[in-house]
Structure 1
């Protein structure tokens, strides 16, 4: 179901919108089962590079990001021509001490457009106790603000990037979601998440939607997947969907694209590789 006129107005005011049910709990559980089947076969929770650009190695994720219920939700904001720039898988294990500091997605993505949205889908319930996201409504109106890199080993973010200015946490909201529900947030939204203090695993996935008008400013070649409408600009090379989980061709293509994504994230650092890009 598409956003209503009132919901669109509120989104442009606050920069976020939630909760929206895009699938049944049963469907969310089925996607989770596909992830867990891979984890069981590979010997443990998903980690490292497979957590980002995940749609290039997991057919279930490539299908998920094309679901009409999700695309219909964001078309009133971005239009009919839609591309997926990247995807992430976000597990938080029980009693996990890791956290995400206050940051903006735009700080290290290198995209020249603010027509960029994240759909964050809960595959399990996301609660305050298990580390759901926290956002500052209206903060996207500040544009891109200054961040500093930090060295806290418990910070999940790639660079430990943290907004320099103090956040008025009294004005923030907890983005609590049931399995099968999504939130939408603007690329300039201030957001963070706390550790999982519960005994239950929290799993969500994020899909980063852009329009074909966007450009990558940090490297010469970038990739995206067209999921709706048409691309009349050619700013991004087309990605290859995986035929099956972790096929040799999919792994090779993911390796190439992930290396480019690492270059984007690590611009102006002395690092040249990333174990696992994380953002939310």
Structure 2
């Protein structure tokens, strides 16, 4: 974007609602470049090496070490409706993926360049981050007709630290509409919210399921949520405690997005029970943008 300012009304609206849309954060050229790079990655990928389905409804991925050990790798996760009873793809691989994660932001040069930007640093400094790091990133496809529902949730359920300071950044690489599964938010639901529901590592090393949920999530009613359709290139900044969701893609158009999360590492402890554990230190934002 040509100019950027994250003060005054913008900052106040984010603090009030728990999310904020910034139009034109990525240029059309950057969006196209990331989509092309993602397509290249899929071209080079052998589906036989990647067998895990990702779903927020039955959580099949929670049984797989493939998911648990993906924090410092680029891995591929299928849509449930894209595989048959034997786990084989029932459509071309480019049309079958749910997402790619979770280390695009530091293992792929194109995604790294688009992530560690002066604009991101400006936002984080206004949000009082002292030593922010990015623990994960994802490319999410929301495939036509089969792009699955993302149930009501808060991001802090999955990425816990003490004290908790987590912000998501969600960029539309093509238009996100009511028909293809745009995000819905419950404005203000982050204020005074407590994290009462967490996905954690199963302490039973012999259990079939490597991850489990603890506690109870108090989902708000549908009437509290508002749809947030956005144009290609728009970024949505998401507070780690604001409730949000997206419906199934029932259209014939995909909804490709790139998203990553930022956590505070200054005087903050990353939970050893998080599914995502750093095999190498999470990349620090201010150090990367200074390069």
TM-score, normalisation: structure 1: 0.70
CA contact (8 A) 2:132 2:286 kept: yes
CA contact (8 A) 1:2 1:74 kept: no
Compared CA separation, residues 145 and 69, structure 1 to 2 (3 A) = closer
Partner of 2:253: 200
CA contact (8 A) 1:135 1:191 kept: yes
Aligned length: 222
Compared CA separation, residues 49 and 29, structure 1 to 2 (3 A) = closer
Partner of 1:174: 227
For residues 180 and 211 of structure 1, the distance between their equivalents in structure 2, rounded to whole angstroms, comes to 26
Residue 102 of structure 1 aligns to a residue whose secondary structure is strand
Partner of 1:22: 25
Compared CA separation, residues 159 and 172, structure 1 to 2 (3 A) = farther
For residues 141 and 259 of structure 2, the distance between their equivalents in structure 1, rounded to whole angstroms, comes to 11
Deviation of 1:162 after TM superposition, in Å, equals 11
Whether 1:114 aligns to 2:172 is: no
Partner of 1:215: 269
Partner of 2:204: none
For residues 212 and 143 of structure 1, the distance between their equivalents in structure 2, rounded to whole angstroms, comes to 21
Compared CA separation, residues 29 and 48, structure 1 to 2 (3 A) = closer
Deviation of 1:119 after TM superposition, in Å, equals 0.6
Residue 139 of structure 1 aligns to a residue whose secondary structure is coil
Compared CA separation, residues 2 and 82, structure 1 to 2 (3 A) = farther
For residues 209 and 96 of structure 1, the distance between their equivalents in structure 2, rounded to whole angstroms, comes to 29
For residues 75 and 148 of structure 1, the distance between their equivalents in structure 2, rounded to whole angstroms, comes to 28
TM-score, normalisation: structure 2: 0.67
Deviation of 1:145 after TM superposition, in Å, equals 4.4
Partner of 2:56: none
Compared CA separation, residues 102 and 48, structure 1 to 2 (3 A) = closer
Compared CA separation, residues 126 and 48, structure 1 to 2 (3 A) = closer
Compared CA separation, residues 91 and 159, structure 1 to 2 (3 A) = farther
Residue 42 of structure 1 aligns to a residue whose secondary structure is coil
Partner of 2:142: 92
Deviation of 1:17 after TM superposition, in Å, equals 0.7
Question: Gaps spanning 5+ residues in structure 2: where?
Answer: 47-92, 200-210
For residues 80 and 177 of structure 1, the distance between their equivalents in structure 2, rounded to whole angstroms, comes to 30
For residues 131 and 30 of structure 1, the distance between their equivalents in structure 2, rounded to whole angstroms, comes to 22
Residue 140 of structure 1 aligns to a residue whose secondary structure is coil
